[in-house]
Structure 1
């Protein structure tokens, strides 16, 4: 038993005990620890329900977590509630951030997420969920307050490089519900050069009675799964663009992100009489080599 655990039976005994504590060498098991990790914290296996927070070399978490949860059952219950958000693709760093709060890595000190990481994940996921026909998850967890985290960037978990480069793209991902008009061939080609994907599509509203049932047609067979998934996920936006049969033609600009998801960043209308867009698409296979 550590000397610090002795309990005096009387005031006088207490005086004697305090003297003994000062004179007896501290046992090996009671050595002082890092000031960040007190005697009231400990490491334990990440619960099975928080499997998303496990990784090679990261099988344990430190209790209590950043939500002051001290029991495995509390972490498990919250992991189930956050499950749809943990599995979502609303932001590349959504899992990194949530796991740093829910199941902090078992290090010799607590490492909090930076405030900027919290804010960019919160903003992107809130926008992404509100733009989808069927939201990936419910409301953003009310218990997460970004202002409580350190500003950083030193001493806290910050955004990844790819995440930082894509910050504006992710936040504004669903906001292209109004198609742009091509002003000139030069401006159009310059815009094309800024995107990985330049994809002509036709969006057809299947029936006026069900305006969100949209069919996407494209001659690029390799892109059909990605554009179909985008239409399903962003049906409110696609419904505004689509028209009844034979539909409306557009040029979708964006990039492919992880797991084949299409990140649409801009949409150009392609009317039958629009010679600028037609010429731009004809020239694009050659012009993109010089971008």
Structure 2
């Protein structure tokens, strides 16, 4: 994950990306009082290798309890795992920086929080992506609770200027054409069902695409969707009216289609070519039924 954020240790030592103002003791780190009101003194510990979100983030030690009031490293791992796919989607270059400043805060004498504007920058880029998968921006990342004038963590200029070339629309995130197991399993974990089907018709409705399936639909993995509901299943590609999705333009092919119920709509969370000639795809199908997903619902609420 080194490609997503700067070396935070260098950032902290040289302070090029920390926004500082006159230190205010009256402020007394109100967030610190709110989050660490349990009276426990934070301790430093090594960032464990299986904390995928923040291992190799740029520093080796983290504070526990962290700034999200997780008191055990097992709680940190469980909650942080649900954010790994968002970092992989690269919706903003400082997503991991924001998350790790809270899940695995660097060890200092006083807590160092992300700047409010850093949170807002990541939120503005990543919230639409999360919404397209049916997840709202969570309360734990409400940006107005972070400092804007005190010492805080910010992204550096290199990261803040990263953008995609104009005139080149991104592929719809649900239509990511990667056929590796990790990409498919991440889509599956953001889903409540996976089926094998062909596409009959695609219509544009406002900012979404309405996806109508052919009658033959074979369940691959059902969590909340019942078999009788498969017959009347219609999917919506949220915010997908303008982004490219090659799969939806090839209705004659068979696809692994994933989705989840949000409100009264079943939204499309992933669509991959059904390719039994691919060893990677066959390996993924074997994992689908028993794979244990991160606790997305516990994170994005």
Query: Who wins on radius of gyration, i.e. which is larger?
Result: 1
TM over 0.5: no
Q: What TM-score results when the alignment is normalised by the length of structure 1?
A: 0.43
Q: Which has the higher helix share?
A: 1
